[in-house]
Structure 1
């Protein structure tokens, strides 16, 4: 069974007297063990798709199933629980709490899940070591570089052992070398677990080249155009700390045994509580 099954997704928003269709019959199937990038121009529907996959928004019509859960059937409390336990969020601006240490920021989702700080610390420290910051566990965000803060955010996204990680422009505030390090880490995280999916929205084609698969969203529709063989080259794993070279020689990650390699052509804290309603009669969660 696929980890993500989206069928004929439509999402419309009312703007004055007009209705704007952000998604227009989008369908998508995604398996675990992949690092997938979603690219496309501004306003194409990328963020809307990400929000629906993370149960931050609901489609106007169509169906979306993630990890066996029909998101269209969830009330606010169930959607909150789904986000807390099954989805990790990574944002462009890191969204770390400045008064907390790095490991406390990582542990925060467990605290919101009624765990004690003491019981959360071993797992938080383990994840800090996993992202290469075992010597920075007591540093506050102001004492960390941008790349280190994003690594803390990645560790935080993993603390509840979610099946899906959703990254919204995770390298948008980083220089190219630091961004390459973060992308290599996201690829490792995706490939560590056969049933974990990392889905990244990005405007950067170079960032997408670290992915197993690239999906283009344009005018609310999804275009998923083929595999690596069609691009005329075999994928290879990027090296952490090494920025990708110029196209078309940019290497991708290695094929995962047991599944085909796919190769494309080319704010706020993660939500753990109820989502505020928007001015649409309370029918949908916030964008």
Structure 2
């Protein structure tokens, strides 16, 4: 058993099994005339406290993979296990964040963050206080009662992150969460996200097209092949220095070597 971490005053439940294991995963779609394979025989593990990024050529099935992993789409073959239990439906302690923030414009930042809790009837003073703390931690102190229409893209994405974290997920599944942000904002929010994940001993799986982002935030980078997608290469990322400082990570020894190697894999895949 790994030690439990605290999020506010809420303990994160520990488990000896890896948070996420995919074995022989495959997914095909029927277009009415034939089966179209998207994912073929894909196997990997997301370990406790680990950040893993998945990169691959455009259209290789990365978002489809994420949907299968979190139970939104059933696999055609293979299996997905969360903490040793075969996946049936959406896993209870997973937080899924899309590229689009999907904030409701008529709700304040605080009300957007607590929406999921409210739907489940779990919103009280303690939950609202916790949501305010998360907004503060993500650089939105003083904006809890403001509306999304007054926010920049980066501020909106911070609200979406707080909404994801407030549900106490053991595992975060992120689909291109920083793609629409300018470079400075991207680095700041990447750092905020990684800091919260690492400090709270959570696990995170991130789909991204940005190789530099993948290397800077991750413990491992998985490179996928063209469709039907398989694991092509796996890189263990070892960088010196503070792994929550995104600029420091980009300046660390070996960073450029990882980026070039992964780019080489993707370039070969795309040809």
Q: Shorter-chain TM-score category?
A: 0.7 to 0.9
Q: Is the 8 A contact 2:67 2:73 kept in 1?
A: yes
CA pair 217-241 structure 1, distance change in 2 beyond 3 A: closer
Residue 14 of structure 1 corresponds to which residue in structure 2? 30
- Report the equivalent of 1:166: 173
Aligned to 1:30: 46
Secondary structure at the aligned position of 2:197 is classed as helix
The answer as to 2:232 corresponding to 1:227 is no
Q: Quick one: which of 140, 143, 156 aligns to 1:133?
A: 140
CA distance in 2, matches of 1:221, 1:15: 21
Identify if the C-alpha distance between structure 1 residues 247 and 45 changes in structure 2 by more than 3 Å, giving closer, same or farther.
farther
Is 1:45–2:61 an aligned residue pair?
Answer: yes
Report the Cα distance in structure 1 between the residues aligned to 2:108 and 2:246, rounded to whole angstroms: 25
Alignment correspondent of 1:199: 205
Residues 241, 249 of structure 2: 8 Å contact kept: no
Give, in whole Å, the separation in 1 of the partners of 2:129 and 2:159: 15
RMSD over aligned CA atoms reads: 2.6
Q: Of 216, 228, 243, which aligns to 2:223?
A: 216
**What is the CA–CA distance in structure 1 between the aligned matches of 2:151 and 2:249, rounded to whole Å?**
24
- Is the counterpart of residue 100 in structure 1 residue 107 in structure 2? yes
- Equivalent-residue separation in structure 2 for 1:102 and 1:240 (angstroms): 26
- Give 3-state SS (helix, strand or coil) of 1:161's partner: coil
Question: Residues 147 and 165 from structure 1, CA distance in 2 versus in 1: closer, same or farther, beyond 3 angstroms?
Answer: same
Distance (whole Å) between structure 2 residues aligned to residue 264 and residue 168 of structure 1:
23
Structure 1 residue 90: Cα displacement: 1.6
> Is there any run of 5+ residues in structure 2 with no aligned partner, and where?
1-16, 263-271
The correspondence for 1:236, drawn from 230, 238, 241, is: 241
Question: What runs of 5+ residues in structure 1 fail to find an aligned partner?
Answer: 252-261, 267-287
Question: Structure 1 pair 240/144, CA: closer, same or farther in 2 (3 Å)?
Answer: farther
Q: CA deviation at 1:226?
A: 3.8
How many matched pairs? 243
SS in 2 for 1:134: coil
Give, in whole Å, the separation in 2 of the partners of 1:104 and 1:33.
Answer: 29
How many angstroms apart in 1 are the aligned matches of 2:244 and 2:203? 20
Whole-angstrom CA distance in 2 between matches of 1:131 and 1:97:
19
User: For 1:244 and 1:148, how far apart are their aligned partners in 2?
Assistant: 23
In the aligned structure 2, how far is the partner of 1:121 from the partner of 1:228?
37
CA 1:265/1:67 → structure 2, altered by over 3 Å: closer, same or farther?
farther
2:260 & 2:46 partners in 1: Cα distance?
A: 14
- Take 1:148 and 1:47, find their aligned partners in 2: how far apart are those partners? 24
Paired residue secondary structure (2:127): helix
- TM-score for the superposition, normalised by structure 2: 0.81
Aligned in 2, Cα 1:121/1:191: closer, same or farther, shift over 3 Å?
same
